[in-house]
């Protein structure tokens, strides 16, 4: 493979990554909208934002359906980060409501 062929192949793969990133962005925003609805329901009945049992269920769900190449540990770390950001969003929304 020549350098030019390698660069062309890399450009093709990077285009695929860019398209996948936009799909992930769309899904993350969709997930966020659902989390906002969940937060509204929890707030109405004074339930806590943090629910460790539910988070463990999310981890179990995604890791049990994982076919790789991500390891279960890597997948859990990714979802821990996603969940942490969603939890922060719920906390910010509650604080914003209290300020009004």
Give the DSSP per-residue string, the chain: --HHHHHHHHHHHHHHHHHHHHHHHHHHHHHHHHHHHHHHHHHHTT--S--HHHHHHHHHHHHHT--SSS-HHHHHHHHHHHHHHHHHHHHHHHHHHHH-
Can you give the C-alpha Rg of the chain in angstroms?
19
Contacts of 91 (CB under 8 A, 6+ apart): 49
Rounded to two decimals, the pTM is 0.86
* Domain around 24: 3-99
CATH of the domain at 63: 1.20.59.10
pLDDT at 97: 64
List the one residue out of 28, 27, 29, 47 whose CA is nearest residue 38: 47
Q: How many domains does the chain have?
A: 1
For residue 46, pLDDT over 90 is answered with yes
pLDDT at 27: 98
Average pLDDT over residues 44-58: 95
Average pLDDT over residues 16-39: 97
**What is the C-alpha to C-alpha distance for residues 93 and 20, in angstroms, rounded to an integer?**
29
């Amino acid at each position: 493979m020549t350098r030019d062929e390698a660069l062309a192949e890399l450009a093709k793969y990077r285009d695929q990554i860019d398209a996948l990133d936009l799909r992930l962005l769309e899904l993350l925003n969709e997930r966020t909208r659902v989390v906002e609805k969940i937060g509204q329901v929890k707030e109405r009945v004074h339930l806590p934002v943090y629910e460790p049992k539910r988070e463990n269920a999310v981890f179990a769900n995604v890791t049990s359906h994982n076919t790789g190449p991500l390891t279960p540990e890597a997948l859990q770390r990714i979802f821990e980060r996603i969940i942490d950001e969603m939890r922060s969003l719920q906390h910010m929304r509650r604080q914003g409501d209290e300020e009004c």
